[in-house]
Amino acid sequence: MSERKEPARCPFAGKIAKGGELHQQASSPDERLTTGQGLPVSDDQNSLKFGDRGPTLLEDFILREKITHFDHERIPERVVHARGYGAHGYFQSYDCHEDITKASFLQDPEEKTEVFVRFSTVAGSEGSLDTARDVRGFSVKFYTKEGNYDLVGNNMPVFFIQDVIKFPDLIHSVKPEPDRGFPQAQSAHDTFWDFVSLTPESVHMLLWIMSDRAIPRSYRMMEGFGVHTFRMINQSGESRFVKFHWRPKLGTFSLIWDEAVKLGGADPDFHRRDLWQAIESGDFPEWELCVQVFTEEEAAAFDFDVLDPTKLVPEEKVPLRPLGKMVLNRNVDNFFAETEQVAFCPSHVVPGIDFSDDPLLQGRLFSYLDTQISRLGSPNFNQLPVNAPKCPMRFFQRDAQMQTQVPSGRVANQPNSLDEGSPRECPVTGFSSFPKSGQGEKRRSRSETFADYYSQARLFWKSMTEPERNHIVGGFTFELGKCEARHVRKRMLGHLMLVDQELGEKVASALGMEGEAAEIEPIVPIIEYEPSPALSQYSKSPASLQGKKIGVLTSDGAPASILEKVLEIAKSEGATVEVVAPKAGRCRLSDGKDLEPDHFLAGGPSMLFDCVVVAPGGEEEGGKALQDQADAVDWIRNAFGHLKVIGFSDAAEALLEKAGVEPDVKGGVIPFEKEGWDGFIEQAKKHRVWERESKVRPV
């Protein structure tokens, strides 16, 4: 019998390939990989087998522990707002706001209150794309000295429905249709438009959701709103109504619809990457928290009901009062532990902040706590680091799954006289609800003061600039075009006619359905308001390159001096530069130096940037090579179609010609070697060349 030599362990253990390097091994006990029980692991590359070729043994408890943990890695995603991204930061009050509130984080301008923020889309599942047309969630957890305060808002100031009981219907209608399981992260389908066209209270919100607000350029360039009317209570117990607003320091900017669609493929993580990169590079996003403050008597005089969440309070009626600023300055260490496990609840308030009777808000006070228990599996979710208050937390709630604390003492009840050190009520500084009086019959009804569905929708339409209006028409046309049921389209056109005849007719004409709008009678007369310029994002967006991204398309042989100039411009304007070249490895510039591009051509389309520079090498070097590539031609065509300012070098002329883009100094296609850089900078600060839109996308 020939003697068979068994190796002491698998010959490939510790090697990444035949002849490859050894994996690093622990050199001290501290470095040792262990199981969940702390047992040091000797081989993490191979399961325990009978012989080299198996079978694998059930005995392998190390494998089973690892795989079992893996099998249970996912927790239920959020029913809505499943896709989101979070970051840490702080809030700092500008002043002492004791006249309106006793909330501790709004008293001392020296004090910084830690915050955790999560932005999100609503309809899509966790793996859906960032740039879908949707409302964005804007949730802020303030870790105050008197408990956590959650301001769980959106990037639009109104909502689709007036009563919580309609929320499951709204969400079911927008989610994938139950029989076919599609479309994902889209409102452009029949069940949504059927539901909202049968629910006219949603018309105002539909105008917002079809507007550019639903396709933000960046989380950093988005406004936030508390939506409902809340109360602020001061030390004397006086109550005032407030509406919360977040104003981004960079201004409010959006994508172009075609750009958003293409970005979905080019970079599904566009918004989360943008936020992460900004924070990572030290360009910390900032918002100002403001409130509109008004008394109950003033509210009673408004011609709409402030308890109706489909209505906003125009800023021209009640101006914003700035309270303080929020800065996001730290990315999460672990996406799951923080962003996924963070649990926001509108019911998390602090002394000085209270609720109104808005029937949507009242329902939310129940829903969020309930959903956290199903998502996180236990009422002990408040012990997770991201959810735990940073002030003392002492109560008698006990046990339940995943209790991580070890409470000591004999007593878990209140009142008690057995434990002198146990937590006690505090009638003076503890939270007490605003003592609002009221009486009435128990019934299911909707207040008549909620019946005006069209006046504020018309106000929004009238307050838009021309490009914003055109985009709203484009939004409705796209979505209703995807809605197959003709009777639903007709019903929706009927609502749009009531909002504004021009809007209704433009959408009907774009759909090829002139004269087909259904006849709809409003319940109450429509009020004609003066436009509110504060509702338009473009009439107030600052001319600035701050926080924006300049994309440079280049190739071998490109003049190094151009790249240096673009970097210099970006530095002085607070922007960043990313270079796109044909190959990922390197690009050799005219000075013979190698540049490592940020993107290779097919992976870095112009949608990723706010304005672009085209500076290839000359014909002999890299320039000719670009002309033969559809990706390079599309790069320029897309930049032009998405109304971006294009600066180009003399060597780029042939490429532009191939893309069918003509030089146009006033129209944002600027030969900077002939014209200098000033015109490029000035126009790029305006973000888009709106005048070009009628040429590329006539409405």
Q: Which stretches of the chain bind ligand HDE, using CB under 6 A?
A: 78-81, 84, 118, 120, 137, 139, 152-154, 159, 164, 167, 227, 309, 342, 344, 360, 363-364, 367-368, 371-372
To the query of whether residue 382 is one of the catalytic residues in this protein, the response is no
Which residue number has the CB closest to ligand HDE?
137
How many whole angstroms separate alpha carbon 422 and alpha carbon 414? 9
Q: Tokens at residue 42, please? A: 């000797």
Start-end of H helices in 46-202: 61-71, 167-174, 190-197
How many whole angstroms separate alpha carbon 369 and alpha carbon 374? 9
Question: Which CB atom, from 363 or from 481, has the smaller least distance to ligand HDE?
Answer: 363
| Residue 188: CB minimum distance to ligand HDE, A | 21
Q: Specify the DSSP element, H or E, that contains 84.
A: strand 84-93
How many whole angstroms separate alpha carbon 237 and alpha carbon 684? 51
Q: For 11, which DSSP code?
A: T
Question: Which CB atom, from 375 or from 462, has the smaller least distance to ligand HDE?
Answer: 375
**Tokens 């002329």, residue?**
653
| Residue 226: CB minimum distance to ligand HDE, A | 6
How many whole angstroms separate alpha carbon 224 and alpha carbon 241? 18
Task: Given the residues 81, 88, 245, 599, select the one marked as catalytic.
Answer: 81
Task: Given the residues 148, 154, 155, 638, select the one marked as catalytic.
Answer: 154
Question: Which CB atom, from 124 or from 137, has the smaller least distance to ligand HDE?
Answer: 137
| Residue 252: CB minimum distance to ligand HDE, A | 17
How many whole angstroms separate alpha carbon 563 and alpha carbon 133? 35
Q: How many residues in the chain?
A: 699
- Closest listed residue to residue 156, CA positions, set 215, 214, 230, 78: 214
| Residue 579: CB minimum distance to ligand HDE, A | 35
How many whole angstroms separate alpha carbon 508 and alpha carbon 515? 7
Burial (CB count within 10 angstroms: exposed 0-12, middle 13-18, buried 19+), residue 399:
exposed
How many whole angstroms separate alpha carbon 184 and alpha carbon 79? 14
| Residue 457: CB minimum distance to ligand HDE, A | 17
Question: Which CB atom, from 159 or from 253, has the smaller least distance to ligand HDE?
Answer: 159
| Ramachandran angles phi, psi of 147, nearest 5° | 105, 170
| Residue 84: CB minimum distance to ligand HDE, A | 5
How many whole angstroms separate alpha carbon 671 and alpha carbon 673? 6
Q: Tokens at residue 114, please? A: 């830690």
Question: Which CB atom, from 292 or from 683, has the smaller least distance to ligand HDE?
Answer: 292
> Strands across the sheet with 669-671, in order?
599-600, 576-581, 549-554, 611-615, 646-648, 669-671
| Residue 401: CB minimum distance to ligand HDE, A | 18
What proportions of the chain, in percent to the nearest 5, are helix, strand and coil?
35, 15, 50
To the query of whether residue 81 is one of the catalytic residues in this protein, the response is yes
* Neighbouring-strand partners of residue 119: 85, 138
What's the chain's Rg over C-alpha atoms?
A: 29
Question: Which CB atom, from 266 or from 353, has the smaller least distance to ligand HDE?
Answer: 353
Question: Which CB atom, from 164 or from 560, has the smaller least distance to ligand HDE?
Answer: 164
List CB contacts of 390: < 8 A, sequence separation 6 or more: 114, 143
Cis peptide bond N-terminal to 407, omega within 30: no
| Residue 81: CB minimum distance to ligand HDE, A | 3
How many whole angstroms separate alpha carbon 602 and alpha carbon 306? 51
How many whole angstroms separate alpha carbon 348 and alpha carbon 368? 10
Question: Which CB atom, from 309 or from 504, has the smaller least distance to ligand HDE?
Answer: 309
Question: Which CB atom, from 368 or from 431, has the smaller least distance to ligand HDE?
Answer: 368
| Residue 632: CB minimum distance to ligand HDE, A | 40
List CB contacts of 408: < 8 A, sequence separation 6 or more: none
Question: Which CB atom, from 340 or from 500, has the smaller least distance to ligand HDE?
Answer: 340
How many whole angstroms separate alpha carbon 143 and alpha carbon 149? 7
* Neighbouring-strand partners of residue 613: 552, 647
| Residue 695: CB minimum distance to ligand HDE, A | 38
- Count of helices and strands (H, E) across the chain: 19, 18
Q: Which residues are catalytically annotated?
A: 81, 154
